Amino acid sequence: MKSTQSLSTTCSLMCALLLGIGIVGTVQAHEASHTHPVKAKAATRQVGFQLIRNATMKLTYAGTTFLIDPMLAVKGAYKGFDGTPRSELRNPLVDLPVPIADVLKADAIILSHIHEDHWDPAARYLVPRTMTIFTQDEKDATKVREDGFTDVRVLTEEGLDFKGTRLIKTLGKHGSNHFFAVPQLAELLGDVMGIVFLRPNHPTAYVAGDTIWNKNVEDALTRYQPDVVFLNTGYAQINGFDGSIIMGKDDVARAYRFSPKASIVGVHMESVNHAMLTRKELRAFIDAQKLDKRRVLVPNDGQSYRF
């Protein structure tokens, strides 16, 4: 993995610099693309990644750019989530690191689920109606189509091809059983998916989505042997409940140990009120656990890597 500029074109970089809002990511040198020994062919191409903010990220495979879970509102646009810690704060907690026009330069959007911190009113308004959008199920697809989007496709566990990249739905759970024992919470948390990106001679990427660490995650890691794993590690909480509805720092260590060849990337931090784990805490944990920092990464908003 190598660091790259967070903005892809000179024009957008210049515009951003003029506006003073560009963030150029730099990370320490990292080995080139990881390859799992069980793979028949070595990965010869690289996958581009840019964290936008929260769970919003871009992945680029062979010139195809996927925008995942776009939350595009300006800082403070929405009330904090009721019944969660720090709900007096307004979401998003921070602004986008790059212009919206650059975020929207994508060939398709993938929605891991449609909670408002993954598909917000701003994104629903700003994304062109003809954009290809992948959802986890027909229920979400119907809601997306109701906004006038004309090319909404449902991902499956068998996978769909899009411009030569295989997109595979993986399962997850947006909180442990004690959350789902409360019917209203079960309804609110709902279904979620992760996504595996497969392409010949490319690193395999796995975006776990808004899930806790569970057997679904272990199964995906075992089955697909991803080279790079993106985890939502903000440890989002709900008042009155122990534990969290997404992953946290311990899950970074779990993934690191479970998939010893994979790069682990933590996102979904410091952008919404109820996500309680900070990057600073996660980085301190990585130091304390003596995890290899070339293999476990905590990007800032706007930061880019290549795998």
**What residues make contact with Zn ion under the rule CB under 5 A?**
117, 210
List the structure tokens of 198. Answer: 């497969």
Q: For Zn ion, which is the closer residue by CB, 162 or 213?
A: 213
The DSSP secondary-structure symbol of 185 reads H
CA angle 166, 167, 172 (to 5 degrees): 145
3-class secondary structure per residue, 240-294: CCCCCCCCCHHHHHHHHHHCCCCEEEEECCCCCCCECCCHHHHHHHHHHCCCCCC
Minimum Å gap between C-beta 118 and Zn ion is 5
Task: Name the residue type at position 2.
Answer: K
Minimum Å gap between C-beta 274 and Zn ion is 9
Minimum Å gap between C-beta 29 and Zn ion is 31
Q: Give the separation between CA 301 and CA 279, rounded to whole angstroms.
A: 11
Q: For Zn ion, which is the closer residue by CB, 61 or 134?
A: 134
Please list, in sequence order, all residues whose beta carbon lies within 8 angstroms of the beta carbon of residue 19, skipping any fewer than 6 positions away: 99
Distances (CA, A) of 128 to 21, 53, 124, 133, 242: 24, 20, 9, 10, 40
Q: Give the separation between CA 5 and CA 267, rounded to whole angstroms.
A: 18
Q: Give the separation between CA 107 and CA 97, rounded to whole angstroms.
A: 20
Handedness of CA 273, 118, 230, 208 (dihedral sign): positive
Minimum Å gap between C-beta 46 and Zn ion is 27
Minimum Å gap between C-beta 13 and Zn ion is 29
Minimum Å gap between C-beta 210 and Zn ion is 4
Q: For Zn ion, which is the closer residue by CB, 105 or 279?
A: 279
Minimum Å gap between C-beta 115 and Zn ion is 6
Q: Give the separation between CA 228 and CA 267, rounded to whole angstroms.
A: 13
Minimum Å gap between C-beta 31 and Zn ion is 30
Q: Give the separation between CA 136 and CA 241, rounded to whole angstroms.
A: 27
- Contacts of 122-125 with C-beta under 8 Å, sequence gap 24+, read 122/71, 122/72, 122/73, 122/74, 122/77, 123/70, 123/71, 123/72
Q: For Zn ion, which is the closer residue by CB, 192 or 198?
A: 192
Q: 200 preceded by cis ω (within 30°)?
A: no
Q: For Zn ion, which is the closer residue by CB, 159 or 190?
A: 190
Q: For Zn ion, which is the closer residue by CB, 119 or 307?
A: 119
Q: For Zn ion, which is the closer residue by CB, 1 or 122?
A: 122
Q: For Zn ion, which is the closer residue by CB, 140 or 210?
A: 210
